[in-house]
């Protein structure tokens, strides 16, 4: 396991406040809603959960200084020794989990929708008799060292090898309003089947990039490309939102890259929690080429009072 201090970029001598500042900075930088790495974000949160709590931090430091080295929690150590010294043949439920990715447009996240997926999963072939495991000779465990035994990985501790077959599975499910990119929907027992039971299915939501909007939490960011004269003089313009077209009044003497906020025109949050905002950024554009009349007008503006006195 990665060192929590290294993940947050702090040292063992860092104060709690320094750790908190490092976490806030890194979590903003790597947040998935801002284009960050989801796995990196989880590690940052995991590190702060431990180092941000004095008792957990002390326990973590003690484990790092133990003869077993850092990285094992008490639960992990317990599981390791259970597996090493397991004397029995009955293994725990080790059905194989499956992960299915589904791509969803932003509009479906806004309104909510019903999706259907089709995937392949393994189930036990009950028409074919099982056979004795050749690795453990049917006892379900193998000798590790001396008197110690561990569960047989070939048959998963059951002593028998079962044939499997592939089937096509269909599943319909609801995409809830405001679901986040990377969120998983859990379905028990719909993964691959083994003699000790079925695994689980995890459906991962992948939100497709939108041609007009960038998601920032429950807000939507939109770049509005506009000419300099319209930014300076102001203009009423029609724009498209997720729920239809609206009129937007650009104020006189706006500035390039100013942001305008339209309340309630962003993304629906989870059921009953309201709606985010639409944030419009004014992006100036210039023509690729100009004619002689336009050039003359620009030359006049260049030496005029308000344009000539612009401070750099």
Fold (CATH) for 4-84:
Helix Hairpins (1.10.287)
CATH 1.10.287.110 intervals, the chain: 4-84
Report the CATH fold assignment for 213-308: HSP40/DNAj peptide-binding domain (2.60.260)
pLDDT per residue as tens digits for the range 136-169: 998 888 887 666 778 888 887 888 888 889 999 9
- pLDDT tens per residue, range 85-120: 333 333 344 578 999 999 999 999 999 889 999 999
CATH fold label, 98-207: HSP40/DNAj peptide-binding domain (2.60.260)
Q: For the segment 55-88, what is each residue's pLDDT rounded down to a tens digit? A: 778 878 877 665 444 444 433 333 434 443 333 3
- d(CA 204, CA 117) in angstroms, rounded, equals 12
**Which part of the chain has CATH 2.60.260.20?**
98-207, 213-308
pLDDT band at 27, cuts 50/70/90? Answer: confident
Read off the pLDDT of each residue in 7-19 and give the average, rounded to a whole number: 90
């Amino acid at each position: 396991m990665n060192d929590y201090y290294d993940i947050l970029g702090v040292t063992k001598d860092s104060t709690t406040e320094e750790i908190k500042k490092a976490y806030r900075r890194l979590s903003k930088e790597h947040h998935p809603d801002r284009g960050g790495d989801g796995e990196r974000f989880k590690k940052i949160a995991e590190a702060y959960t431990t180092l941000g709590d004095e008792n957990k931090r002390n326990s973590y430091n003690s484990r790092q200084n133990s003869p077993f080295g850092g990285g094992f929690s008490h639960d992990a150590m317990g599981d390791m020794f259970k597996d090493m010294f397991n004397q029995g043949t009955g293994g725990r439920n080790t059905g194989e989990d499956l992960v299915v990715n589904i791509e969803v447009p932003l509009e479906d996240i806004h309104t909510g929708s019903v999706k259907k997926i089709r995937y392949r999963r393994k189930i036990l072939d009950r028409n074919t008799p099982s056979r004795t495991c050749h690795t453990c000779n049917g006892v379900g465990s193998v000798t590790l060292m001396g008197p110690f035994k561990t569960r047989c990985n070939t048959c998963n501790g059951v002593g028998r090898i079962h044939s499997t077959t592939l089937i096509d599975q269909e599943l319909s499910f609801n995409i809830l309003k405001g679901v986040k990119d990377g969120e998983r929907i859990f379905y028990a027992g719909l993964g691959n089947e083994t003699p000790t039971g079925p695994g689980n299915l995890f459906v991962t939501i992948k939100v497709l990039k939108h041609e007009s909007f960038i998601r920032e939490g429950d807000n939507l960011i939109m770049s509005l490309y506009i000419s300099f004269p319209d930014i300076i003089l102001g203009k009423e313009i029609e724009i498209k939102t997720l729920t239809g077209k609206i009129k937007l009044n650009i104020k006189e003497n706006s500035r390039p890259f100013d942001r305008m906020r339209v309340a309630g025109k962003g993304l629906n949050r989870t059921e009953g929690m309201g709606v985010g905002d639409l944030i419009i950024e004014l992006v100036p554009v210039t023509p690729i080429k100009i004619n002689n009349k336009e050039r003359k007008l620009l030359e006049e503006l260049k030496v005029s009072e308000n344009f000539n006195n612009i401070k750099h």
